Structures are given as C-alpha cells and as structure tokens.
Structure 1
Amino acid sequence: MDMPRGRSFAWLVTHRPLVVGVAVLLPLAACAVLSVFRDSVPNTSSALGLVLLIVAAASTGIRSAGLLAALSSAVWFDFFLTEPYNRFAITDQADIETAALLMLVGAAVSEIALWGRRQQARASLEQGYLDGVLRTAAAVSAGQSSTESLIEHVCGQIVELLQIDRCRFDPGDGPVLATIEADGTVKYNAHPLNVRRLGLPTDTEIELVVQSHGAIHGRFLLTAATSVVRPSQQQLRVAVTLANQVGVALATNTDDGNEGQPSTSS
C-alpha cells in the first residue's frame, strides 16, 4: 500500500540527514559508473541522467537536498566526465556550461518543489477549515445535538483553529478591549490590530460575537495568554463563520420558545 503524501513528507523531514546524504552520494555513484562508459556515452546524455537525480532529490521538498544534489552532480561531473579526467578542472567551454546548468536546474527545481509543497499544505489546510464549517452547519440544520454540546464543539474547533488557550461562551455584552470583526480583522481598544505582525492580544479576552441575521445571541470570549499566535485573516473569518453557526442554532431555539443560553468553555 502506498504511503499517504502527508505521511511520506513527514517521514522525509524526520529523516532529513539520511535524505540529504543520499542526495549527495547518488551523483557521485552515478558519475563513477558513467566514467567507465565515457568513451561511448556523450556528456550531454550523462548530464541528463544527473538532472533526473537532481529532480528526484528536489521533489522531496527539502531545499538542501536539491541544492546539494546539484552541487554534487556538478562537482563529480567535472571530476569524472570532463577533461582532464580525475581532476577538478574543466577546459572545454561546453562542459563548463553543462556544469553551470546542473547547478541552475537544481536551484530552480528545488524552489518549484518547495512551492508545490506549500500549495499542497495550504490546500489541505483550507479543506480542513471547510470540513469543520460544513460539519457544524450540518449539525445545526439537522438538529443532531443540543445547544450546549454544539457550543462546546464549536469552542473546541475555535481553540484548535486559532491555536489559542481557551474559549468560553458568554451570553452577556460587557466591555472588552479586543474584538474579532465579521470580516476577520481584529480591533484592540477600537483600533485595527495587525495580527500577522503583532499576534492576538495576550492581556485581555477577545470577543467573537455570535449572531444570526443581524441579531446578537451572545459571544465567545477567547484567551490567548500563554503564547503569541498569529492566525491569518482567513482563519479568523472561519472562526466568525463557526460562531455564526451557533447563532443560527440559538436563534432557532429562541423561535421555538427556548431562550436559555448556556455557558460553556473549552
């Protein structure tokens, strides 16, 4: 059975020294073997084979593996496959250009592979956000859980999403210094706060209003006191969406004549 992509990448990162070592040694072994056939195999063909090794090293998503594979390929291509042989010197202009291209290809492919890894991680994260919202929305629409358990569930999701310390539901509307706005921005003492640079406030609870169709049904009070966390605006907007799902449930309960709003924390 194939190893899932996430687990395979985690294995590569965990075994980084081994991966980097293999990336460095494979070009050496390949050039040593190719040197036996250098009279019959043109250097352009040998260089293409080395490019495949560089691409394989770069595809691990470890920048140092791709770059060192390229450097190793250029060095051993020079030593084994260019005149004067078995010396670190190149006299032919075409061979100099080939060695330089090996380095450039290694750098380019490594950066492309890293970009792909980042895009994959971002897509996976966004899918996780969407799945969380959809599960909560499904629970609200189907009435599968009580209001208390829904609030507890959403509190847990917000804590995990924003990597904060605590979340609690408060039916009141007392003054707070920090608030998360509907568009995912944060205000501190009524002034916009650059969360990506400064992080969420650690000296006060942060208000996340619970509302439905413009009507406020309480709020979540978030605590991020033990460490500075810097969630993206997208993460904060997901938190707003989750809170508003609770607002829908509370609005439904109010319409049904149940106006009690429980207090819970996570």
Structure 2
Amino acid sequence: MIGHRYRDVIAVAAALAGPLLVALVLLPFRTGVSRTNLALILVVVVVAVAALGSRPAGALSALSAAAWFDFFLTPPYQSLLIHRAADVQTAVLLLAVGLVVSQLAARARRLKVITVTDAGYLARIHNTARLAQGATSADAVVDHVRRELGDLLHLRACRFEYGSLLGHPPRLEQDGGLIVGRRRWEVERRGWPEEDVELRAFGNGHFQGRFMLSPVPGERPSLQARLVAVTLADQAGVALDTAGPARREQ
C-alpha cells in the first residue's frame, strides 16, 4: 500500500513538472516546428505519466501539458492568451487527446499490457479527434475511422453497421483481446481468425453500431494497434451519440 502511495506521489509530481520541463526544452524549436508536432510531443509525456501513475495523474498531466503549451509555445508567448484560431484548436485537441490517451494508458497499466506511445498511433488518435471536433456529419467521422482501421490493422475490408447486434461473430474487446465463441483467441500466436470480427462503437455509454473487420488470415496486429483501434471506434461512437437520435434512425 505504501509503495502504491509513493508511486502516486511521484506520478502527481511528474504530472506537474514533466510537461513544464518538456515545454522548456521545446522553447528553441517553437518557431521552426509545427505546433501540432509540439503538441504530440507533450502527449507522449502525458502517456508516460499515466502509465506510471493513476487516471487522476494522467488527467492532471493533460491539463498541465495544455497550460504550458499555451503559455510557452503559442503566441503571444508567456501568456495564457491565444490569438490564432488554429492555435486554440490545437490546444483544445492537446487537452482532449491527452485525456483520452492518459485514460487508455492507465487502463493498459491496470491490465498489465503495453501502453500506447508510438507517435504514429498517437497521430491517428489526434487526427480523428480533430476531425470529430470540426466535422459537420458523424458519417464523415465513421468513414474516416473505417479507413484508419483498415490501414492500422491491415484489413482486407472494413464496414460499419448501424443498429442492433446480429449473430455472434468474433469480437475485439475493450482491452484489445479477441473473443471467438466464448474463448480468448491468442492473436499474437494464431493471427486473425478467418471470419469477420466485430468492433463495437460506444458513445457516452450508448451502443451506436459496430465496425465489421475483414482481416487477412494470419496477420498479427500488435496489442498497441488493437488498443488504438478500440479508441478510434469509441471516437466514432461519441460522434454518433452527439449527432443524436435523428442520425441513428436513418
């Protein structure tokens, strides 16, 4: 118990100091590197803190990263004001993506699985969050996620089905595991099964539909990739839930 408390204290300290120190290191590059890339570097710090500590520590580090990004890396510098709309959007996305991936990292630590730190995976989450924030249609987000899943998991095809669940296909779970029938399927050892796999999309706790993944038999997507796939599907679910009943009845 004392060990856990000590680790939580360290995580809170890292949540406060880590983003600040990294923001200071990035100061010389703030005019030569895009602010989106600077924000992604800070997201990696958020993930590291969440992997070390708890969900609150991850959330605190996301808030700290957004604040120091605003203060040091967006003009006017040394101010919490932001003049450019694009910088406002980047700061908001940094906070949103930081919160999402920090919760994912904390969940991964609790499940004793690998955390998502790959820059390419983080960029997929960031780009989807950016689209979800600005899209006028939830269908655009769903279509974007469908393409991302196809590329991320090296699928033959991917489609989205609205409405209720039919049948009992293999299912990709929230922890990145795969259930075939009632048993866990070892993807790393056996690869994908031959039939289509469902990935359910939830928005604010409400089932919105499912992505049907048509895998290449024998492909072995990493646990990191599968966790990112689950996160992308939930982002589509949130977009659908925000669109409201009118969209779901179409």
TM-score when scaled to structure 1?
Answer: 0.48
Query: How many residues are aligned here?
Result: 135
Indicate how the Cα distance of structure 1 residues 163 and 145 shifts in structure 2: closer, same or farther if over 3 A, else same.
farther
Counterpart of 1:249 in structure 2 is 239
Matched position secondary structure for 2:155: coil
State the superposition RMSD in angstroms: 2.1
1:48-92 superposed Cα distances (whole Å, 9 cap, x missing partner) = xxxxxxxxxxxxxxxxxxxxxxxxxxxxxxxxxxxxxxxxxxxxx
State the distance in 2 between where 1:190 and 1:234 align: 23
In the TM superposition, structure 1's runs of 4+ consecutive aligned residues that sit over 6 Å from their partners are none
State the distance in 1 between where 2:161 and 2:229 align: 16
Query: Shift of the alpha carbon at 1:145?
Result: 4.4
**Is residue 2:117 matched to residue 1:129?**
no
Counterpart of 1:183 in structure 2 is 175
1:200-239 superposed Cα distances (whole Å, 9 cap, x missing partner) = 111x1101000022211000000114x4210111110100
Task: Determine which of 150, 155, 173 is the counterpart of 2:141.
Answer: 150
Query: Shift of the alpha carbon at 1:138?
Result: 1.5
Task: Determine which of 215, 219, 228 is the counterpart of 1:238.
Answer: 228
Counterpart of 1:200 in structure 2 is 192
Indicate how the Cα distance of structure 1 residues 135 and 145 shifts in structure 2: closer, same or farther if over 3 A, else same.
farther
State the distance in 2 between where 1:157 and 1:126 align: 15
Matched position secondary structure for 2:209: strand
**Is residue 2:152 matched to residue 1:161?**
yes
Query: Shift of the alpha carbon at 1:177?
Result: 2.8
1:118-177 superposed Cα distances (whole Å, 9 cap, x missing partner) = xxxxxxx811111111111121123x2422222111111001001111110011301233
Task: Determine which of 246, 254, 258 is the counterpart of 2:247.
Answer: 258
Counterpart of 1:209 in structure 2 is 200
Counterpart of 1:170 in structure 2 is 161
- Give unpaired runs (5+ residues) of structure 2: 1-116
Q: Answer yes or no: is the 8 Å Cα contact 2:192–2:218 preserved in 1.
A: yes
Which structure: larger Rg?
1
TM-score when scaled to structure 2?
Answer: 0.50
Query: Shift of the alpha carbon at 1:260?
Result: 3.6
- Give unpaired runs (5+ residues) of structure 1: 1-124, 262-266
Identity %: 33
Query: Shift of the alpha carbon at 1:183?
Result: 0.7
Matched position secondary structure for 1:165: strand
Matched position secondary structure for 2:140: helix
State the distance in 2 between where 1:231 and 1:245 align: 20
Q: Residue type of the partner of 2:146?
A: C
State the distance in 2 between where 1:134 and 1:127 align: 10
State the distance in 2 between where 1:157 and 1:222 align: 12
Matched position secondary structure for 1:183: coil
Q: Residue type of the partner of 1:259?
A: R
